[in-house]
Amino acid sequence: MSGGLFQIAEPGESQIKEACTGRVVGIDLGTTNSLVATVRAGTPECLAVDDEGGRLLPSVVEYFADHTIVGKRALTDAAANPIDTIVSVKRFMGRGPGDVETTRRFTPYRFASKSGPLIRFAVAGREVTPIEVSAEILRVLRTQAEVALGGVLDGVVITVPAYFDDAQRQATRDAGRLAGLHVLRLLNEPTAAALAYGLDKKSQGTFAVYDLGGGTFDISILKLEEGVFQVKATGGDTALGGDDFDRALAELVVQRSGRAPDSPTAQRELLDACRAAKHRLTRESATEILPGVRIAREEFDEAIAPILTRTAAACRRAIKDAELTPETLDGVILVGGATRVPAVRAFVEKIFKQKPLFDLDPDQVVALGAAVQADLLAGAGPQAGNDVLLLDVIPLSLGLEMMGGVVEKIIPRNWTIPTRAQQTFTTYADGQTGFDLHVVQGERESVADCRSLARFQLKGIPPMPAGMARLDVTFLVDADGILQVTAHEQTTGQEAVIEVTPSYGLSAEEIEQMLLDSYQHADSDVKTRLLIDARVEADRILSAIRGALVADGRLLEPEERAPIEQAIAALQSARDGIDRHAIRSAIESLDHASQSFAQRRMDTSLQHAVAGRRISEVEQKLE
């Protein structure tokens, strides 16, 4: 996999959006731990996230009926209350219940739905999406940062793995928004690490980023050209990390002591003891894990060797994908808590044939780089006192009302502005001489659940049969967030334009609420939409066939007409019901029943055309 051009400063960024005092931070929203960092006096530093001054916030959220606990205490409780405690939520971002990543993994907590676009966890009597769980983590980071910086945050940069797809990135942005954060940009984790090391100051180069976290391993190859990092290759293993070291050590202890833990609790305790011992072994040459069971660092190194070997294949492949050799790399960066282990460092040095960079704390390096990026963005404002930031995305989708009161999204939320999108529509009814355009904002499928922004009309189109007119609708959002909607009918050249300010009058809370509603209703919304679409289609077909029977009924013998009438009645009754599959199959039956009638009409219509009269004109007059 490759791609993802990342620019330090984009040309479009000079647009001033919103004045601010530049209180910005970088956030590493990790699978195991999350951190927040800011640049002070030119140097990035991680901020305390708990009362003891710790900088790592375990990415764990424990749910109760009326509140949540995030971080260390939630992690401690996880063993006792596994069902209501969500760990490793990052693995589920942007995923549906049917995704491999979801089904493959054993999780103690419960999924609320088996279908639909979003995963939902059933916790403490309610349902939450991964986006909401992540927002809880982000809220804690936000509060801590606001205390440390003495005021409301103006903007954040959140990091994501380089391999995250659109849905996963979208989900991360939404989590930020739900937490009341102004997400300036998402930044690839390896790129953040490179920024933390100041590698962007070099003119060019290629770098490998070896990231071994708690449960994931990522290898990325970055190419720097004129201040722009490009991800040339990514690879890794989503089920490999420092937690596997804990398990390897536990096995060693069981072997040595001859005693296996006899309950889930005992097993948990053993793993916790092994993790603590693993951390000690980074500094000490031997340590006691259980009374009388002492493990030397060499023994630990031997136990984890097979795990390290598994990372080597992915590294070699990534180097090859990037069309490089280890010798041509200009640097290797260590990221992730597990790279603290001396054996890991030695191993990386062997694969890449050079000493890796590890001057910066490997669990902080991504957050530090995100802070550098946030600082660059906040300072990137032009001359104007550089206290400016840009509101760079569309907070809620923009769309048009369609027949049946459903919304067609023209510009999806989170698109970077300025932006432009166009879609072509046509007439629903014969002889329609104008279009009613209704511009709405929101994530729901039904117009009634969205926010109305503007209504306008395009008139002066000569009567044509349904489906003949071609209406191009263009949505243009400029750098100031102003939306301009242009409707242009192709055959006549008729045009109408309207301007609106989309987010005008909506508070951050209202935007949050609209997003939340859309997650809660995502499943039922899609079903409703499909039903409405089927009904609209049924109405169109019913009206067309009824019109045709009036116009050309004489072409049919009574016994030919009866099955068509029956199919019409069947479709009408299905249409009035709520089963979209029934409507679809009734449409098919009617289609089938009226096939020869349609054929005969076509032949006649050809004769009419010769006679200078179009069948559609006949239909129009009759309606």
Q: Quick one: 214 or 381, whose CB is closer to ligand ADP? A: 214
Residue in 33, 38, 85, 373 binding ligand ADP, rule: CB under 6 A:
33
* Residue pair 174/515 in contact by the 8 Å Cβ criterion: yes
Nearest distance, CB of residue 199 and ligand ADP, angstroms: 20
Nearest distance, CB of residue 578 and ligand ADP, angstroms: 46
Q: Quick one: 22 or 236, whose CB is closer to ligand ADP? A: 236
Nearest distance, CB of residue 186 and Mg ion, angstroms: 14
Nearest distance, CB of residue 35 and Mg ion, angstroms: 9
Indicate which of ligand ADP, Mg ion, none lies near residue 243 (CB less than 5 to 8 Å, by partner kind): ligand ADP
Known catalytic residue at 527: no
Cα 161 to Cα 159: distance, rounded to the nearest angstrom:
7
Cα 393 to Cα 413: distance, rounded to the nearest angstrom:
7
Binding mask 484-523 for ligand ADP (x = CB under 6 A): ----------------------------------------
Instruction: Read off the tokens for 75.
Output: 């992690």
User: Annotated catalytic residue: which of 62, 211, 363, 525?
Assistant: 211
Contact flag: residue 337 with Mg ion (CB under 5 A):
no
Indicate which of ligand ADP, Mg ion, none lies near residue 279 (CB less than 5 to 8 Å, by partner kind): ligand ADP
Known catalytic residue at 17: no
Residue in 139, 256, 268, 279 binding ligand ADP, rule: CB under 6 A:
279
Name the segment binding ligand ADP (CB under 6 A); options: 27-35, 227-235, 295-303, 570-578. 27-35
* Residue pair 2/232 in contact by the 8 Å Cβ criterion: yes
Cβ-Cβ contacts under 8 Å for 49 (sequence gap 6 or more): 34, 35, 36, 55, 56, 57, 71, 140, 141, 144
Contact flag: residue 338 with ligand ADP (CB under 6 A):
yes
Indicate which of Mg ion, ligand ADP, none lies near residue 95 (CB less than 5 to 8 Å, by partner kind): none
Cα 365 to Cα 367: distance, rounded to the nearest angstrom:
6
Contact flag: residue 235 with ligand ADP (CB under 6 A):
no
Cα 441 to Cα 450: distance, rounded to the nearest angstrom:
6
Contact flag: residue 297 with ligand ADP (CB under 6 A):
no
Q: Please, what is the Cα angle at 71 between 40 and 218, to 5 degrees?
A: 75
Tokens 């990231």 sit at which residue?
211
Known catalytic residue at 211: yes
Contact flag: residue 214 with ligand ADP (CB under 6 A):
yes
Instruction: Read off the tokens for 394.
Output: 């569309």
Q: Please, what is the Cα angle at 591 between 585 and 592, to 5 degrees?
A: 90
Q: How many residues bind Mg ion (CB under 5 A)?
A: 2
Q: Quick one: 29 or 476, whose CB is closer to Mg ion? A: 29
- Measuring CA to CA, which residue among 511, 623, 534, 523 is closest to residue 584? 534
Cα 186 to Cα 182: distance, rounded to the nearest angstrom:
11
DSSP 30-44: -SSEEEEEEEETTEE
Cβ-Cβ contacts under 8 Å for 206 (sequence gap 6 or more): 221, 222, 223, 224, 232, 322, 324, 328, 329, 330
Indicate which of ligand ADP, Mg ion, none lies near residue 278 (CB less than 5 to 8 Å, by partner kind): ligand ADP
Q: Quick one: 218 or 443, whose CB is closer to Mg ion? A: 218
Cα 80 to Cα 86: distance, rounded to the nearest angstrom:
13
Indicate which of Mg ion, ligand ADP, none lies near residue 331 (CB less than 5 to 8 Å, by partner kind): none
Name the segment binding ligand ADP (CB under 6 A); options: 117-125, 176-184, 275-283, 507-515. 275-283
Cα 125 to Cα 480: distance, rounded to the nearest angstrom:
43
Contact flag: residue 213 with ligand ADP (CB under 6 A):
yes
Prior bond of 418 cis (ω within 30°): yes
Q: Which residues pair with 457 in a beta bridge?
A: 436
Chain centroid, CA 25 distance in Å? 21
Nearest distance, CB of residue 117 and ligand ADP, angstroms: 26
Question: Could you give the maximum distance between any two Cα atoms of the chain, in Å?
Answer: 105
Cα 515 to Cα 602: distance, rounded to the nearest angstrom:
49
Nearest distance, CB of residue 33 and ligand ADP, angstroms: 4
The CB density around residue 274, as the number of other CB atoms within 10 Å, is: 23
Contact flag: residue 13 with ligand ADP (CB under 6 A):
no
Contact flag: residue 190 with Mg ion (CB under 5 A):
no
User: Annotated catalytic residue: which of 62, 189, 512, 533?
Assistant: 189
Q: Which residues pair with 225 in a beta bridge?
A: 204, 228
Q: Which residues within the stretch 13-52 sit at the binding site for Mg ion (CB under 5 A)?
A: 30
Residue in 30, 176, 190, 395 binding ligand ADP, rule: CB under 6 A:
30
Contact flag: residue 213 with Mg ion (CB under 5 A):
yes
Name the segment binding ligand ADP (CB under 6 A); options: 38-46, 241-249, 284-292, 424-432. 241-249
| C-alpha separations of 341 from 35, 348, 390, 416, 552 in Å | 21, 11, 41, 40, 84
Known catalytic residue at 223: no
Contact flag: residue 444 with ligand ADP (CB under 6 A):
no
Which residues are tagged catalytic? 28, 90, 189, 211
Residues in the site for ligand ADP, rule: CB under 6 A?
A: 30-33, 213-216, 241-243, 275, 278-279, 282, 336-338, 340-341, 363
Residues in the site for Mg ion, rule: CB under 5 A?
A: 30, 213
